[in-house]
Amino acid sequence: MKPFRSFSSLAFSPLTLLLGVTVAQAQTIIDDFNTGSDSAWTHVDPLANSSYSFPGGNTYRIQTASPSPGTVGAARAGAIREDATFGDFDITVDLLSWDNSSSTHQSIGIVARVSDVGAGTTDGYFFHYDPVGSNGHSSLWIETITDEVPTSINSQQIAALDPALGYRLEFSGTGDNLTGRVYALSDLSTVLYEIDAIDSIYTSGFSGLLVADQGRLQTGNQSADATFDNFSVTAVPEPGTSVLIAGVAAGVGAWYFRRRRTPKAVKCA
């Protein structure tokens, strides 16, 4: 009869260590808003003048307006997932609709590596779409936010997106390298637009969504309004981690099968 081997005998095997590494790298937060609730989110509403709703019971709309831009600043509101922090990250969200009027100069998008959340204190990175920019053209931006003040790292003029269609925004960061992408929901295999930036100020933090009036444009109705769906943030393995995992896996496989094939020594009488 073969001896019984308990699972405890594998507690510190290379295979167990490998599984531990794999699980650690697979941290993910997903919300499709099908519950009609944002109870897992923290509202970022520094002006206390914003609303959060669920059109159709399964999407997420954030609306805000500034009562006095000259005294309390531009309209801005967001929602953050504070249940996990991410260093290297990949965040996606579907942008379904937004206020596209010519008098609304707003920024719509994803925030990452967010910390010190609050009026006049929020820090992080912001990848966003501006339907109507200061030059009258649509554009993509990657900005740093320091104490709620945005500073552009890079921007790119693009053709206006159609609010009657749906798009996927993707924001990823690996070390100092930041990338924003836009896809049409009708074809998620093709990148419509891509923008890159390099910055090392923030290394980890929370993830979420933000809509804001472009504070540098003190005209128009001073509001922001957009509807999202299918939010996801995933931890991205550090450079070399995937190679390391593959190497360990190969080593574990070789070790395991060697043990199975190696015959036991036979004692001579």
The 10s digit of each residue's pLDDT in 121-161 is 999 999 999 997 555 689 999 999 999 999 999 999 999 99
Residue 163: pLDDT band (50, 70, 90) is confident
Determine the Cα–Cα distance for residues 44 and 67; give it in Å rounded to an integer.
17
DSSP-assigned beta bridge partners for residue 107: 212
Confidence grade of residue 23 (pLDDT, cut at 50, 70, 90): very low
Residues 78/68, Cβ–Cβ less than 8 Å = no
Residues 146-149: contacts with CB under 8 Å, at least 24 apart: 146/201, 147/120, 147/121, 147/122, 147/123, 148/46, 148/73, 148/76, 148/119, 148/120, 148/121, 148/122
Query: What b-and-e string marks burial along 133-163, b requiring 16 or more CB atoms within 10 Å of the CB?
Result: beeeebbbbbbbbeebebeebbbeebeebeb
> What is the fold of 28-236?
Jelly Rolls (2.60.120)
- Is residue 39 predicted with pLDDT exceeding 50? yes
What whole-number distance in Å separates Cα of residue 149 and Cα of residue 170? 22
Q: For residues 216 and 97, is the Cβ–Cβ distance under 8 A?
A: no
Long-range contacts of 188-192, Cβ-Cβ distance < 8 Å, separation of 24 or more: 192/158, 192/167
Asked if 178 contacts 145 with a C-beta cutoff of 8 angstroms, the reply is no
- pLDDT over 60 (residue 253): no
pTM: 0.78
Share of the chain above pLDDT 90, in %: 61
Supply 235's token pair: 């931890």
Tokens encoding 218:
């003190």
**pLDDT tens figures, 4-15:** 333 333 343 444
Query: If residue 83 lies in a helix (H) or strand (E), which one and from where to where?
Result: strand 76-86
DSSP string, 141-158: EEEEEETTEEEEEEEEEE
**Distances in whole angstroms, Cα of residue 151 to Cα of each of 44, 88, 147, 148:** 19, 21, 11, 10
Q: Each residue of 91-114: pLDDT tens digit?
A: 999 999 998 876 678 899 999 999
Name the helix (H) or strand (E) containing 86: strand 76-86
User: Please, is 76 exposed, middle or buried when counting C-beta atoms within 10 Å of its C-beta (0-12, 13-18, 19+)?
Assistant: buried
Q: Tens digit of pLDDT for each residue in 75-87? A: 999 999 999 999 9
Band of the pLDDT at 44, cuts 50, 70, 90? very high
Encode pLDDT of 176-196 as tens digits: 999 999 999 999 999 999 999
Q: Is pLDDT of 55 > 60?
A: yes
Give the tokens for residue 111: 């925030």
Q: Considering the chain, what is the average pLDDT of its residues?
A: 81
Q: How far apart are CA 269 and CA 263, in angstroms?
A: 18
- Is residue 215 very low, low, confident or very high in pLDDT (cuts 50, 70, 90)? low
